[in-house]
Amino acid sequence: MSARGEMGTHTEAPKRESDELLGSRGLTIRSKLLLFTTGIGFLILAALAITAFFLSAIALRKARLDGFQSLRTSLSQAINTLFAEQRRDVTAQAELQTVRYAVTELSSGYEHLIEDLDAAGFKVDPAFLSEVRQSLRDAYERGPMSDLRSLGETVGSFDEFSDLSPVAAILQYVYILKNPASPGLKFQKNSVLDISKNANLPVDFRNAFSKTMFARAMDRYHGLFETVVRRNSYFDLMLIDDLGNVVYTFEKSWDFGTNVFTGWRSHSALKKVFMGAWYGSSPSGDRTSGDDVVITDLERYPGAYGSPMLFLSCPINNRLGGRLGVVVHKIASSTFTDLVTFQGRWAAVGLGETGEAYIVGPDLKMRTESRFVKEMPAKMKSLSFEPDGSPGPLTTVLGGPLHNKAVENIYSDQVLSNEGEVTFFDDIGRESLGVYEQLGTAGLDWGLVITISTDEAFAPAVHLTRLIAFGGFVILIVAILAALAFGHLLSRPIVQLVNTAERIGSGDLAARAPISSKDEIGFLAERFNYMIDQVEERNRHVHKILETVNEGLFLMGPDFIIQPGYSKITQEIFQRKIDGIFFLDLLRPAPDSGLQPVINEETLVATQHYLELLLNPRIKEKLIQQTNPLGEIEYKELRPKGAQYSKFLEFKFNRVVEGGRTTQIMVTVLDSTSRIALTRKITENETKAKSQIEMLFGIMHLDPPILAEFLNHAKSEVTVMLDLLEAEQFGSHAGESSAERSDRYLRLLQKISRSIHLIKGNAAMLRLSYFEDLANRLEEKIATVRGGSALSGEQFLPITTGLASLLDQIGMTHDLIGRLLSMQTVFGKDAGEGAQTDFAPLVELAGEIAQRNGKQVRVDLQIKDGLARLPNPLREPIQMMMTQLVRNAVLHGIESPSERLAERKHPVGEIQIYAYRLTENERKIILAVRDDGRGINYQLLRRRAVQLGYASVNSIEAWTQQQLNNLLFETGFTTMDRPTMDGGRGVGLDAVRDLTAKMGGVLNVSSKQGQFCEFRLEIPVA
């Protein structure tokens, strides 16, 4: 607990601290909460969105691929089924007896057509054939040859290209060229009846042709095959005989009637499929599933204007195993394109907007039409042709080879498995997700790819992510608003608490935090208020203490600056506010204070030293407390009207230790003025009582008349002095300069001084130490005044009081003596009948003075001629003068015993006092005081004279001994450096001189340095 904190009331420091606190506080709880909510919200949102995206993307991918895989399975099944059915059908058809008959009859009719025509009355002459060929040439040139050229094929001449036998030419002439049915529908109007009525044909020819075996066989079997083709939705069904003649096609396109080994057929799949079936296919009865049917991959087929065609074939055997021919199924790509394009209902099978399924071959070219044929690069597309040979739309079937990962994986030798799923860039540059597999169709190394762009595949994930992001954003906004509101709710009591704390910090201890909730913060506010109650309570205690305590009580820091908060009395003691003051300044005079310390610099230094020691933790507090230099410090208190009082203060210091360190010093100030005054009064009273007793005892040994005489003399002297003082006009006389006034005062002072000295001398002689003390004290006062530079009237005030006091004492003693005298009368005892002479006290006086000054003397009294008792008018001045001279002799003449020994003298100095009547003239008395001391040191006198300004250094040498001797009697002249109780004030001898002069006597001095000094008085006796 900090004392400072307790006392800290209305000050600047806590305010500043709270400001710093506010500054370093940074963010408020509300903004932190907001930041926290926002940050966490965004993090959660981002995490949620990312997680949602990835999870849903993974799930979507999986779902998509699962869907694709089942689609792949069903598609490959469908395609394999399609081909399996075709194989089964073509095999079954090859086994059909009707087909055997058909191929045999058609082949036979084909072989004998020219003969049959001839027999029917139409001679096939070169001219007719030429005409037929010519009309066919036109059709070929316009149709297949032109189309193939546009596909970039080398076609050659019509003859090379078509290489039609007469029979082939006639059959194409009849069934295709002159068939009135529309292109693509040439399978119609094939009956004998139709031909016989076909106006396009020459009448004789058509009559003859309709009678041929071929026409009749065609008529007979076409209906049958039409039924088969229509029921199975075949594209075309062909019969090729054992010579390679295409004796029947359902469709009647440009392969009809031709031979597979001639013309364009010799390079076509038609020949391949015929040969394959003829040689490679299993003989009937030994059919194995894999080899019973021959199949060729999709190829451009000149017979269909270069449109891609696929062939299946199966040999037709007779019952002996001999080959009758081959059944061929011609299949256009549209058959399986329809399968994998779902008739355009892609969305229904989960392929959406960008998905598709397609089939590729080992040449990496497409076998089906792409859904995105428009978007496909040109090199991947090729021309297509309508059934009449007119150009159709561009197609991707057998376009350029694809270059994508899915297709490449199907045909990769690098991996074992040629099926799987892959994310890849397709041939129109879209990132796609796909599944692929080899179809496993017998005879066709085809692959199936099902794909969809990842954009679409993962669109739900993107949507979901967007939804989550948007929803999350909305939630976040709500959360932020909630956080704001909550933050406000949460921070308001805290802010109130802080405000309260600040108010308290600035001294308003009455401030209390409002308790607005029952939660932790409410509890905190409650506890806070409780704490403040406690603090206030303690503060009140402290205040009470500080207000009530009678001592000055304050704290200062290690810098000795007084800290705020001190006891009330402190301010009264020092009469000012002291906080912030350097402690030592309290001990120095302050210009604006009514209280000025009386302290010397040494004490200040000692104080500083003491305080530093106090801060030194190695020094025990108790140890140094004894050395406290400020136990009693006097202050002068100036009151209005110039009155001045002393005030004594006692400072006590105590360490305030915090954490083992002295952080502050507690200072207790006690106003001890009254105590000291009391002590002094007691001492004074004691002294007074003592001195009265002393006086009482001091006067007992005296003859009352002597005492009375002393008292009377002293009384008169004092009265004179008081009169003089009273008579003196203190203040300025008109026309008087300050120097003159000062001089006047000085003269007065000298008079008083001399009188007092005489009183002191007499008192000493009579061993009236009480009076001696009084006089001495008065003398000291006078000396103090005289020591001042310029004299003023006021300075005489203490002298006046001192004299008044002396007069009182004299009066008191007088009364006392009076009472004693009356007692003497009563007791009948003459106290004054002693053996003592008037000079006897001088012996005692000399002894006393010697003892006081560390000297030893022996007084030799040589009193003659009845002078032991001096006549009355003379006695008092003589006693006075003798006293001064004896005093002078002991003090200035006699050396200390050690000095005397060094001078080879007896350690006990001898003072001879003579008193005798001059014989020749008995009217004069000789009085002398002779000592065997050091004599007058004229060199010292000269030096002293120069020092005291009686003469210059040069002139002093010229002075005679007499002149120098006279200096001894000058007022204020002394050879001693400092006065003592016994002398050295330079007033003793001048009084002797004055008295001598007053009595009309002569004063002589004789001396020999180091041997003696003698003062000799010649006093006339009346």
Interaction site with another protein (CB under 8 A): 100-101, 104-105, 107-108, 216-217, 220, 242-244, 261, 271-273, 275-276, 278-282, 288-291, 294-296, 318, 320, 322-324, 362, 413, 416-419, 437-443, 445
- In angstroms, the Cα distances linking 531 to 136, 512, 526, 537, 543 are 121, 10, 8, 10, 18
* Residue 323: closest CA among 240, 398, 387, 399: 240
Burial 993-1010 (b: 16+ CB within 10 A, else e): bbbbeebebebebebeee
**Please, which residue, 288 or 644, has the CB nearer to another protein?**
288
**Please, which residue, 101 or 486, has the CB nearer to another protein?**
101
**Please, which residue, 8 or 443, has the CB nearer to another protein?**
443
Strands 857-863 and 909-917 come out as parallel
CB atoms within 10 A of CB 344: 9
- Report the nearest approach of another protein to the CB of residue 242 (Å): 5
- Report the nearest approach of another protein to the CB of residue 260 (Å): 9
**Please, which residue, 133 or 329, has the CB nearer to another protein?**
329
* Residue 115: closest CA among 26, 214, 16: 214
Spell out the residues 6+ positions from residue 418 whose beta carbon is closer than 8 angstroms to its own.
Answer: 409, 410, 411, 412, 436, 437, 438, 447
- In angstroms, the Cα distances linking 61 to 422, 435, 448, 468 are 10, 11, 19, 19
H/E element holding 783? helix 769-787
**CA–CA distance, 880 with 757 (Å, rounded to integer):** 10
- Report the nearest approach of another protein to the CB of residue 417 (Å): 7
* Residue 328: closest CA among 317, 315, 316, 313: 313
- Report the nearest approach of another protein to the CB of residue 239 (Å): 13
**Please, which residue, 448 or 578, has the CB nearer to another protein?**
448
Residue type, 681: K
- Report the nearest approach of another protein to the CB of residue 442 (Å): 5
- Report the nearest approach of another protein to the CB of residue 167 (Å): 17
**CA–CA distance, 968 with 959 (Å, rounded to integer):** 13
- Report the nearest approach of another protein to the CB of residue 320 (Å): 7
- Report the nearest approach of another protein to the CB of residue 102 (Å): 8
Strand partners for 132: none
- Report the nearest approach of another protein to the CB of residue 77 (Å): 12
* Residue 86: closest CA among 310, 334, 337: 310
Enter the DSSP assignment of 385. B
CB 352 within 8 A of CB 255: no
**Please, which residue, 268 or 883, has the CB nearer to another protein?**
268
**Please, which residue, 237 or 294, has the CB nearer to another protein?**
294
**Please, which residue, 101 or 916, has the CB nearer to another protein?**
101
Torsion of CA 787, 791, 797, 802, to 10 degrees: 30
**Please, which residue, 422 or 501, has the CB nearer to another protein?**
422
Tokens 């376009």 correspond to what residue? 399
Strands 661-671 and 552-556 come out as antiparallel
H/E element holding 359? strand 356-360
**CA–CA distance, 382 with 366 (Å, rounded to integer):** 11
**Please, which residue, 413 or 957, has the CB nearer to another protein?**
413
**Please, which residue, 167 or 324, has the CB nearer to another protein?**
324
- Report the nearest approach of another protein to the CB of residue 376 (Å): 25
642 phi and psi angles, rounded to 5 deg: 75, 5
**Please, which residue, 158 or 446, has the CB nearer to another protein?**
446
- Report the nearest approach of another protein to the CB of residue 268 (Å): 11
**CA–CA distance, 892 with 872 (Å, rounded to integer):** 30
**Please, which residue, 212 or 664, has the CB nearer to another protein?**
212
- Report the nearest approach of another protein to the CB of residue 145 (Å): 24
- Report the nearest approach of another protein to the CB of residue 350 (Å): 24
- In angstroms, the Cα distances linking 558 to 196, 586, 616, 631, 875 are 142, 16, 10, 21, 72
559 phi and psi angles, rounded to 5 deg: -90, 5
Spell out the residues 6+ positions from residue 717 whose beta carbon is closer than 8 angstroms to its own.
Answer: 755, 758, 759
**Please, which residue, 405 or 814, has the CB nearer to another protein?**
405
- Report the nearest approach of another protein to the CB of residue 419 (Å): 7
- Report the nearest approach of another protein to the CB of residue 43 (Å): 43
DSSP SS3 for 422: strand
**CA–CA distance, 529 with 533 (Å, rounded to integer):** 6
Tokens 């910090």 correspond to what residue? 505
**What does the block give as tokens for 704?**
């009352």
